[in-house]
Copies of this chain bind each other. A is one copy, B any other.
Amino acid sequence: MQTTKTLPPMSCLIIIGNEILSGRTQDKNIQFIAAGLNEIGIKLAEVRVIPDITQTIINTVKSCSEAFDYVFTTGGIGPTHDDITSAAIAQAFSTPLERNKEAEAILEKHYGRENLNTARLKMAEIPKGSRLIYNPVSAAPGFIIKNIYIMAGVPSIMQAMFDNIKGELRGGAKTLSKTISVYLTEGNLADGLTNIQNNFSDVEIGSYPFIKNQKLGTSLVCRATDPELLSKCYGELKNFLLGFNVEIDEEE
């Protein structure tokens, strides 16, 4: 009997932000989105961090929209002069920006009509035909056009937006993982690992050296969609490591 493997949907995250590229800001969005997508069975296949330059945004969004099932962007949807994501995305798909009535109503409710100045209204200028992503933190919404989910760059706002879209994303089988760590260096383990990897081609075994308390160690991560296969591979790996007679540390 032959089993057909269905590949999970593939996605790309585009971080739009000079502040990451200059080293001013430590990125906190990649890991949150990566883990969130992993949970629902969507593979994060690539991340790009790009500057606030219109043409770069256009080129990157267009090529990623074609290459991946889902594209997520963070950053550049605020009211200031350097917030150019919405306009660039409109341009990328030759779609006009238009004042989104629902977004305007949300902003009016949040700020009050008297404080809804031109700058803030810019946050309601969204490519025609987009759907909104609601923002419970600071009101101004993100939006969805084609297969692209445009979110804020501030981590707490992005996280709330991502939680709001998670329900509509269609994932494949969830990738499960089991991790085991030992204070042995990769060089001691490599041959045995290769053998186990060769026995389990549908499990991805990752080997990650670490330094903790000035000691070198290796974390081994098994990843697979099939729980039985994962458990079998992990069992073999654990047996292999027990052979070294050193302390092992297991985690889900």
Binding site for B on A (CB under 8 A): 15, 18-28, 30-38, 43-52, 56, 78-83, 111, 115, 117-120, 122, 137-138, 154, 156, 175, 177, 179, 186-187, 189-191, 193-194, 197, 204-211, 216, 221, 223
Contacts and interface: CB of A to CB of B under 8 A. Distances in A.
Nearest to A46: B50
Nearest to A47: B49
B21 A47 contact: yes
A251 B48 CA distance: 29
A43 to B, nearest CB: 8
Total copies of this chain within the assembly: 2
Q: Is the interface of A mostly helix, strand, loop or mixed?
A: mixed
Nearest to A115: B187
A36 B35 CA distance: 28
Contacts of A38: 22-23
Contacts of A43: 21
A22 B47 contact: no
Nearest 7 A/B pairs, CB to CB: A23-B35, A119-B190, A23-B34, A47-B49, A80-B207, A120-B187, A81-B194
A119 B45 contact: no
B49 A30 contact: yes
A221 B19 contact: yes
A120 B209 CA distance: 14
Q: Which of A21, A80, A120, A206 has the most CB of B within 10 A?
A: A80
B35 A206 contact: no
Nearest to A195: B81
A216 B48 contact: no
Contacts of A205: 81-82
B206 A82 contact: yes
20 contacts: A18-B206, A20-B34, A21-B43, A21-B44, A22-B44, A23-B31, A23-B34, A23-B38, A25-B31, A27-B30, A45-B51, A46-B49, A79-B186, A80-B189, A80-B193, A83-B207, A111-B187, A119-B186, A154-B210, A156-B211
B187 A119 contact: yes
A119 B50 contact: no
Given A18-B206, A205-B81, A119 B191 contact: yes
Contact of A79 (B31, B36, B156, B190): B190
